[in-house]
């Protein structure tokens, strides 16, 4: 993967990484990306879900969406995925921070041809909740036509990761104030069945045991 000025980690480079393994792990754990593009100098940042297939991210949306119509032109795109792991509570206001893992990826997107849409949508579905695709009705021709699927090729990317406790000034250690980390994580609640659920439908394990952290780990299959 290239490293040019746009992806070089300049601030706190010790937190930065261009290692594929780190970048892929962060992308695989997430399911929400913030997509950046610009139209006549005006930037837009739109949240959307995605799936990873090697160095490609698949995105999908309505064929009528502004984002899809802009991105399919092949304009420069920035895709950012962020996980918040905790609040870092220091003894001074200045040293407060967040534990996080983020990837900022640069590249361009292009339309996925009709014959490859099914594969791409399966990758997105597996990425969101592995196992679901096999259980549900697949897309029909009309649904595929209404859906634009894009393949975003990662040309460059950088990861930033902060872990651990607060890093306070030595003289602040004498302050009688609680300091440490408040961990934060996305956790699932109790699944809520649809009002019209089929009387024989049972809750699959991939929903009941869903955890964002392990969702996409292929080794667990």
Q: What are the φ/ψ torsions at residue 138 (nearest 5 degrees)?
A: -75, 165
What is the rounded distance in angstroms from the CA atom of residue 139 to the CA atom of residue 121?
A: 9
Q: Please pick, from the candidates 203, 213, 214, 217, the single residue that binds its own copies as defined by CB under 8 A.
A: 203
Nearer CB in complex with its own copies: 1/89: 89
Per-residue contact flags (x/-) with its own copies for residues 102 to 131, judged by CB under 8 A: x-x-x--------------x---x--xx--
Interface with its own copies, residue 145, by CB under 8 A: no
Per-residue contact flags (x/-) with its own copies for residues 9 to 38, judged by CB under 8 A: -xx--------------------x-xxxxx
Q: Encoding tokens for residue 83?
A: 């996980």
- Tell the smallest beta-carbon distance from residue 168 to its own copies (Å): 8
- Tell me the CA end-to-end span of the chain in Å, nearest whole number: 29
- Tell the smallest beta-carbon distance from residue 115 to its own copies (Å): 17
6, HSE (Cβ side, Cα atoms, 13 Å): 14
Q: Encoding tokens for residue 59?
A: 């995105």
Q: Please pick, from the candidates 14, 54, 115, 173, the single residue that binds its own copies as defined by CB under 8 A.
A: 173
| Residue 106 and residue 76 in contact, taking contact as beta carbons nearer than 8 Å | yes
């Amino acid at each position: 993967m290239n490293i040019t000025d746009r992806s070089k980690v300049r601030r706190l480079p010790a937190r930065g990484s261009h290692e594929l393994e780190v970048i892929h792990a962060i992308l695989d754990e997430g399911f929400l990306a913030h997509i950046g593009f610009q139209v006549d100098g005006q930037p837009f940042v739109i949240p959307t879900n995605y799936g990873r297939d090697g160095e490609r991210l698949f995105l999908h949306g309505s064929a009528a969406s502004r984002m899809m119509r802009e991105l399919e032109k092949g304009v420069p795109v920035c895709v950012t995925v962020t996980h918040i792991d905790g609040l870092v509570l220091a003894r001074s206001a200045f040293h407060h921070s967040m534990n996080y893992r983020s990837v900022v990826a640069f590249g361009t997107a292009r339309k996925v041809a009709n014959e490859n849409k099914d594969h791409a949508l399966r990758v997105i579905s597996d990425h969101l909740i592995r196992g679901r695709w096999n259980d549900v009705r697949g897309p029909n021709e009309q649904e595929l036509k209404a859906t634009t699927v894009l393949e975003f090729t990662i040309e460059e990317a950088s990861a930033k990761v902060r872990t651990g406790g607060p890093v306070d000034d030595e003289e602040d250690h004498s302050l009688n104030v609680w300091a440490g980390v408040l961990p934060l994580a996305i956790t699932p609640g109790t699944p809520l069945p649809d009002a019209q659920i089929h009387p024989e439908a049972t809750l699959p394990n991939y929903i009941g045991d869903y955890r964002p952290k392990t969702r996409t780990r292929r080794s667990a299959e």
